[in-house]
Amino acid sequence: MALLDRVKERTGSDLSDTELQAMIDGVTAEIVARFGPAGPIALEMADPTDPEARTLKTLRLARPIDDGEAITVTESDPADTGLAATDIELDATDYRILHGGRTLQRLTGGPNGRSHWAPLVTITYTPIGEAAARDEAVIKLVQLDLSYRGGLKSERAGDHSFTLSGNIATEREQILESLAQRRGGFLLA
């Protein structure tokens, strides 16, 4: 179902499709300006200054890999030269994705096989659920924008009453913060 249709279904708004799409586009632009475009993220993993980093056999990701999308894993060893010659792009047979996409295990059988990770590993991947989380945030922000009544705290008509829960800026920030928390990182295993 298209995002416009989902917004119409969840808000019950009688605004035209053009106006609702303009709201969706505005909220989407705000999210992109704040968090960058949806899609792959690049993480530098491990710590080149940590002597224990050379013994890591697995790396844990805070956000699981969508293994249906492109994945690039590059090791830098030694990590402190900054020279492209020290970077090796790994083949998919050099590592294994485990635990629903949350763990990368280094393998010895691939063309660049090793029993441990290099001190600096850069992984570029698309996290599972990235697009769905952004769509949900867009819907919630459009709902919030449609419900804003210019500072109205409460309204009563017969048996019906309506009260806004508080500051719209605070509510918007909470919704956007839920996306910031998804940006995640990695855990050393």
Tens digits of per-residue pLDDT, 9-60?
999 888 999 999 999 999 999 999 988 888 888 888 877 677 776 788 999 9
Mean pLDDT of 151-172: 68
In this prediction, residue 152 carries a pLDDT of 54
Nearest one of 58, 69, 42, 41 to 99, comparing CA atoms? 58
Inter-residue contact 123 to 73 (CB < 8 Å): yes
Q: How many folded domains does the chain comprise?
A: 1
Q: CA-to-CA distance for 187 and 189, rounded, in angstroms?
A: 6
Indicate the range of 27-36, 100-109, 147-156, 163-172 predicted with least confidence. Answer: 147-156
In this prediction, residue 69 carries a pLDDT of 87
Mean pLDDT of 173-179: 88
What is the extent of the structural domain holding 91? Answer: 41-125
142 or 154, which is more confident: 142
Q: Flag whether 81 is in a domain.
A: yes
Tens of pLDDT, residues 68-127: 889 999 998 876 666 777 799 999 999 999 999 999 999 999 999 999 998 889 999 998
Inter-residue contact 57 to 105 (CB < 8 Å): yes
79 backbone dihedrals φ, ψ, rounded to 5° = -80, -15
Inter-residue contact 34 to 153 (CB < 8 Å): no
In this prediction, residue 153 carries a pLDDT of 58
Q: Flag whether 173 is in a domain.
A: no
Q: Flag whether 159 is in a domain.
A: no
Instruction: Output the average pLDDT for the chain.
Output: 84
Inter-residue contact 60 to 186 (CB < 8 Å): yes
In this prediction, residue 80 carries a pLDDT of 67
In this prediction, residue 63 carries a pLDDT of 85
Strands 41-45 and 95-98 turn out to be unpaired
In this prediction, residue 182 carries a pLDDT of 62
In this prediction, residue 189 carries a pLDDT of 41
Q: Flag whether 119 is in a domain.
A: yes
Q: Flag whether 100 is in a domain.
A: yes
Mean pLDDT of 150-158: 61
Indicate the range of 58-62, 81-85, 161-165, 168-172 predicted with least confidence. Answer: 161-165
